[in-house]
Structure 1
Amino acid sequence: MLGSAIAALAGGVLLVGPVLLALAGVLRLRGAASASAARDAVAPPWNRRLSLNSALLYTLAFNLTFFVQELFLVLPKALTPGLRPTLFHNNHAWQGEHPLAALFQGSGAVATVVVASLCAWRLRRPRGGTGSRLFLIWMAYCGWLMALPQVAIGAISDGSDLGMAMRYLQWGPAARLCAAALALAAIPFAALSLLRPLLALADAPERIAGPAARTRFVFQCATLPALLGTALTVPFRMPREWIEVALLPAWVALFGLVWIQAGAWRVQGVRAGGAAMRPGSTLGLALAAAGLLLVFQLLLRPGIAFY
């Protein structure tokens, strides 16, 4: 029964809610078709450099966030007598036994939420270039969206990271259901809170002048790049079972993107303050992603022992 209730809540938050929000946007666009069409007629061409850079920044943000999660799963265990943890590029493991080991399985998700919240706080300061602000947006996004779905999964699976922590805390079905409901309800708020800083990255007012323009800009700046960035994360996570290589990055991308894309039309009063990306920025980001991949596969893949 607990699993069915959480599945119903997840379906409402991740499917029904975004569909209804998008449908409201479609109806709004039909009602203001003439004015919107006039604004969209002067929309600048697609900024492909921004899209490509966004995909590379998403790749960096996702993998750095995952590293933070695994690192903070390891560090508390390394400080606990009797536990000998090892950090890998896509996982961690430990030897020994201690009652607190199960509780520490929740420390990774806590760390990603803290990092995400700090990045979101930094976004409130209207300073920084387009690339740096977009990186902060993706760090906030990945931190929240990597952690919140884990709460729902942990509520129904004792074998998951947060499920082990909930079992240690002796949470019953009611507490687990409440935690899952709160985490799922937080997903749309977290995702939609990033829309204003995303739209502010536009380098011309015409890109975000109307509901259709805002929807198109978010697709070009966020949705499509995040999907491409999700594909680019696969080499960072191999080798491992496909469910960890592909499914986890897919849920991080899709669970929040559906809300961001569906709600883009309704955000108003945002000033276009983004600057054009430098021609060399794409190469620099590609080299940074390649360097991080080498760190993951050459340094972290064999494992780093914390004992």
Structure 2
Amino acid sequence: MVTLIAICAVITLFAGPAWLGIRGWLRARRDLPSSASAAWDWTRVFVSALLYTLAFNLTFFVQELFLVLPKALTPGLHPTLFHNNHRWEGQHELASLFQGTGALATALVGLACLLVVRGTATNSMQFRLGLLWMAYCGLFMALPQVVIGALSSGSDVGMAMEYLQWSPAVKTVAALLALIAMPLLALAMVRPALALAEADGEIATARARASVMLQFVVLPAVIGTALVIPFRVPRELIEVVLLPVLVMLVGVPWMLAGAWRVRDAVASGRRVESFVLPLLAAIALLLVFQLLLRPGVEF
């Protein structure tokens, strides 16, 4: 079981996007030099990075909140919500099952946001970009937990699997399905991301589409991952850094690698608004996390 999941994980995280990216690079070499890339706009990068930061932390809050709420409604359990974790006092046989409700909640939020951003047009570029990042963080914060749960019974989802008495075979199937879903969902987000371009000319060629993805997705995800860290301290280094890095790695490479294939995206024709509002929202959320949630909120 472990070997099979590990091989599939390597394919999903590294070999798959590398193969698709090489195909895109070979295709981009045939583009005309005059249409090499979209115009570079750092406002896009910074706005998207701030919205990624907000989306990641809001998604993590949803996860922890829905880990806490079922326990709060269970007799004998008294949970406490923190900015980067939760704990509970008391015992109940359902506590292990409720360790899976956080990942379920984030997955549902992510799927709902993906459906909205793929099917609804809006004049606000920040709103569309924020929805896209909420979809991304919701889905890619949840799916890796299924894989980890299949390998570790002590993880959140692993505890829920143990409560449900899933056999090793069922756990393996769940992990493989999660690994298959990751690239499919990442590629489903490429067209909405390319549609954020200001003009159709910016996404007319494979090189141009790669440039748009770098501005709206890749660099913002890298910068946003670093910006997430102040929201998560103090805690163990593996929780502060590893989770944000993992969320970024499981989907962003697929989005960049698959951008060359989407030739029918339609640009929005609108510019990204100022980064002032996302910056103020990020600062306000940081204050909420560190001043209100960090001491703990008892339920």
SS of the counterpart of 2:87? strand
Which residue in the other structure is 1:294 paired with? 287
Shift of 1:257: 0.5
Counterpart selection for 1:211 from 206, 215, 219: 206
Q: Is the 8 A contact 1:87 1:303 kept in 2?
A: yes
Q: Is the 8 A contact 1:105 1:164 kept in 2?
A: yes
| 1:92-121 Cα shifts (integer Å, max 9, x gaps) | 000000000000000000100111111112
Which residue in the other structure is 2:266 paired with? 271
Shift of 1:270: 1.1
1:39 paired with 2:35, answer: yes
- CA distance in 1 between counterparts of 2:240 and 2:219 reads 20
1:88-167 alignment runs, 5 A limit: 88-123=82-117, 124-167=119-162
Q: Is the 8 A contact 1:18 1:262 kept in 2?
A: yes
TM-score, with structure 2 as normaliser:
0.97
Displacement over 2 Å in runs of 4+:
36-40
- CA distance in 2 between counterparts of 1:256 and 1:273 reads 23
Residue type of the partner of 2:281? A
Consecutive unaligned residues of structure 1, counting only runs of 5 or more, are none
- CA distance in 2 between counterparts of 1:232 and 1:299 reads 19
SS of the counterpart of 2:140? helix
Q: Is the 8 A contact 1:82 1:96 kept in 2?
A: yes
- CA distance in 2 between counterparts of 1:258 and 1:45 reads 22
Q: Is the 8 A contact 2:38 2:208 kept in 1?
A: no
Q: Is the 8 A contact 2:38 2:212 kept in 1?
A: no
Q: Is the 8 A contact 2:63 2:102 kept in 1?
A: yes
Residue type of the partner of 1:105? Q
- CA distance in 1 between counterparts of 2:23 and 2:10 reads 19
**What percent of counterpart residues are identical?**
56
- CA distance in 1 between counterparts of 2:123 and 2:5 reads 40
Q: How big is the alpha-carbon RMSD for the aligned residues of Structure 1 and Structure 2?
A: 1.0
TM-score, with structure 1 as normaliser:
0.95
SS of the counterpart of 1:85? strand
- CA distance in 2 between counterparts of 1:16 and 1:115 reads 29
SS of the counterpart of 2:60? helix
Q: How many residues get paired?
A: 298
Shift of 1:277: 2.5
Which residue in the other structure is 1:23 paired with? 22
Q: Is the 8 A contact 1:58 1:138 kept in 2?
A: yes
Q: Is the 8 A contact 1:21 1:263 kept in 2?
A: yes
SS of the counterpart of 2:196? coil
Do the aligned partners of residues 11 and 44 (structure 1) sit closer, same or farther apart at CA in structure 2, a change above 3 Å counting? closer
1:170 paired with 2:165, answer: yes
Shift of 1:274: 4.2
Do the aligned partners of residues 44 and 26 (structure 1) sit closer, same or farther apart at CA in structure 2, a change above 3 Å counting? closer
- CA distance in 2 between counterparts of 1:238 and 1:232 reads 11
Shift of 1:129: 1.2
Q: Is the 8 A contact 2:38 2:209 kept in 1?
A: no
Q: Is the 8 A contact 1:129 1:274 kept in 2?
A: no
- CA distance in 2 between counterparts of 1:7 and 1:128 reads 43
1:228 paired with 2:223, answer: yes
SS of the counterpart of 2:80? strand
| 1:150-202 Cα shifts (integer Å, max 9, x gaps) | 00000010110000000001111100000000001100011111111100010
Which residue in the other structure is 1:63 paired with? 57
Q: Is the 8 A contact 1:130 1:274 kept in 2?
A: no
Shift of 1:219: 0.8
Which residue in the other structure is 1:303 paired with? 296
Counterpart selection for 1:188 from 183, 188, 192: 183
